Amino acid sequence: MPRTLELVCPAGTPSALSAAVDAGADAVYFGFRDRTNARNFPGLNFSPAEAEQAAAYCRDRGVRPMIAINTFASTGQEDIWRQAVDTAARVGVGAIIVADIGVAAYAARKYPDLRLHLSVQAAAANPEAVAYYARLFNVQRVVLPRVFTIDDIRMVTASQPDVEVEVFVLGGLCVMAEGRCTLSSYATGRSPNRDGVCSPAEDVRYEQEGDVLVSRLAGYTINRFGPGEDAGYPTLCKGRFEARGRASYLFEDPVSLDATALLPDLAAAGVTAIKVEGRQRGKAYVAAVVGNLRRAIDALAEGAAPGPAVSADGFTEGGRTTEGAYKRGWR
């Protein structure tokens, strides 16, 4: 029987955090209201006082609280990231999720008992990279990049059995590669890796031109949607552009990940935890998808097939879902 998977869920607000806990999350991750986390949007995230309350709420209910400090520290401003680590350690979280080597080194040196998880942002894409972070910083869990097949995952877990592996199974499908994320800064001056925000809302415009809806980012046209076509959020890596005389999505389609059906395969491959993306989502979304995934994991533990975690209507980008790179069905 495959091992029980830990369910790691997002929270962008205190109400979303309580919704995740109440719906059956095993762990909840959230971030501070600043540049240190990759979802630094207005109206989201936690003050230090709210983080302390959130951590206590989780611990009282047997849920592991995690704080994402998963952007890259800017030269000369490293104190912002160090203070985030200090606060996370003080409020008593069960782990911090880091991407920057310097931030990892600071946390490992100053708080050797603080559990470190490596963010997907760090792009540890092979067993040697995983071993490096474990050896130098005592990283205990690695969130693998969203380009791995199940066979790739199996190779990592087999060669590094002492390091836990966490993978995304649900939510927005962003590869989060440094170069693609940096595209945002060319248009808006800010990017997810450095500032924690991709395509800031104040730079987004939707304009109707006849029967066509045009999405623009900082004045740049990102996409054009015909009547009845689902309009995704305008990010550069998911824009539709003309190349070689044909308009198409050059980097990524605007579509959501749902790999719930692959939970048995992921468990058999040695995955420790499955992760839901969505700290920018409301508590209704969090409660629905967490509850469905809880039931899917429990069904798996009882030997039954897991059901779908989401309905395409209302919860998915572009009204579609994909299993992503896990099986690479497009090849």
pLDDT tens by residue, 16-58? 999 999 999 999 999 999 999 999 988 999 999 999 999 999 9
* Sequence-ordered list of residues with C-beta below 8 angstroms from that of 78, at least 6 positions apart, any chain: 102
- The mean pLDDT of the chain is 90
Mark whether 293 and 234 lie in a shared domain.
no
For the record, the structure tokens of 250 come out as 């050059």
Predicted confidence at residue 179, as pLDDT, reads: 65
Q: What does the pLDDT average to over 133-151?
A: 95
Mark whether 166 and 34 lie in a shared domain.
yes
Instruction: Choose between 280 and 3: higher pLDDT.
Output: 280
Mark whether 231 and 283 lie in a shared domain.
no
- Residue 307's pLDDT band (cuts 50, 70, 90): low
Inside any domain, residue 1: no
Last residue of a domain, one of 231, 249, 267: 249
Report pTM: 0.90
Predicted confidence at residue 238, as pLDDT, reads: 84
Is it the case that residue 75 has pLDDT exceeding 70? yes
Is it the case that residue 248 has pLDDT exceeding 70? yes
* Sequence-ordered list of residues with C-beta below 8 angstroms from that of 55, at least 6 positions apart, any chain: 65, 91, 92, 93
Mark whether 198 and 102 lie in a shared domain.
no
Mark whether 155 and 270 lie in a shared domain.
yes
CATH number at residue 157: 3.20.20.70
| Rounded Cα distance, 205 and 201, in Å | 8
Inside any domain, residue 329: no
Mark whether 167 and 199 lie in a shared domain.
no
Inside any domain, residue 305: yes
What strand order describes the sheet that includes 212-217? 204-209, 212-217, 220-225
- Lowest-confidence range among 44-48, 87-91, 153-157, 201-205? 201-205
Last residue of a domain, one of 226, 249, 272: 249
Q: How far is CA 83 from CA 32, 113, 271, in A?
A: 11, 17, 32
For the record, the structure tokens of 139 come out as 């990283």
Note whether 327 and 262 are within 8 A (CB). yes
| Rounded Cα distance, 241 and 256, in Å | 20
Q: How far is CA 133 from CA 14, 191, 249, in A?
A: 31, 25, 34
Q: Which domain holds residue 186?
A: 178-249
CA 274 to chain centre: 11
Q: What does the pLDDT average to over 115-138?
A: 96
Predicted confidence at residue 312, as pLDDT, reads: 44
**∠ CA(277), CA(34), CA(45), 5° rounding?**
45
Local structure of residue 306 (DSSP, 8 states) = P
Predicted confidence at residue 176, as pLDDT, reads: 62
Percentage of the chain lying above the pLDDT 70 cut: 92
Last residue of a domain, one of 222, 249, 276: 249
Predicted confidence at residue 224, as pLDDT, reads: 93
| Rounded Cα distance, 330 and 327, in Å | 9
Pairing between strand 273-276 and 164-172?
A: parallel
Specify which residues 228 forms β-bridges with: none
Predicted confidence at residue 118, as pLDDT, reads: 98
Is it the case that residue 2 has pLDDT exceeding 50? no
200: amino acid identity, one letter: P
Inside any domain, residue 327: no
Q: Tally the domains of the chain.
A: 2
For the record, the structure tokens of 329 come out as 């069905």
Instruction: Choose between 232 and 62: higher pLDDT.
Output: 62
Is it the case that residue 86 has pLDDT exceeding 50? yes
- Residue 310's pLDDT band (cuts 50, 70, 90): low
**3-state secondary structure at position 315:** helix
Q: Per residue, what are the HEC states of 230-291?
A: CCCCCCHHHCEEEECCEEEECCCCCCEEECHHHHHHHHHCCCCEEEECCCCCCHHHHHHHHH
| Rounded Cα distance, 287 and 158, in Å | 34
Instruction: Choose between 49 and 247: higher pLDDT.
Output: 49
Which residue in 92, 150, 183, 139 sits closest to 274, CA to CA?
150
For the record, the structure tokens of 7 come out as 């369910």
Mark whether 60 and 154 lie in a shared domain.
yes
Predicted confidence at residue 26, as pLDDT, reads: 98
Q: What does the pLDDT average to over 204-215?
A: 95
For the record, the structure tokens of 145 come out as 């990049």
Inside any domain, residue 301: yes
Predicted confidence at residue 323, as pLDDT, reads: 83
Inside any domain, residue 330: no
Predicted confidence at residue 318, as pLDDT, reads: 62
Q: What does the pLDDT average to over 257-272?
A: 94
Predicted confidence at residue 61, as pLDDT, reads: 97
Predicted confidence at residue 264, as pLDDT, reads: 94
Instruction: Choose between 115 and 326: higher pLDDT.
Output: 115
Q: What does the pLDDT average to over 262-276?
A: 96
Predicted confidence at residue 41, as pLDDT, reads: 87
Backbone angles phi, psi at 169, to 5 degrees: -125, -10
Mark whether 266 and 144 lie in a shared domain.
yes
Predicted confidence at residue 1, as pLDDT, reads: 40
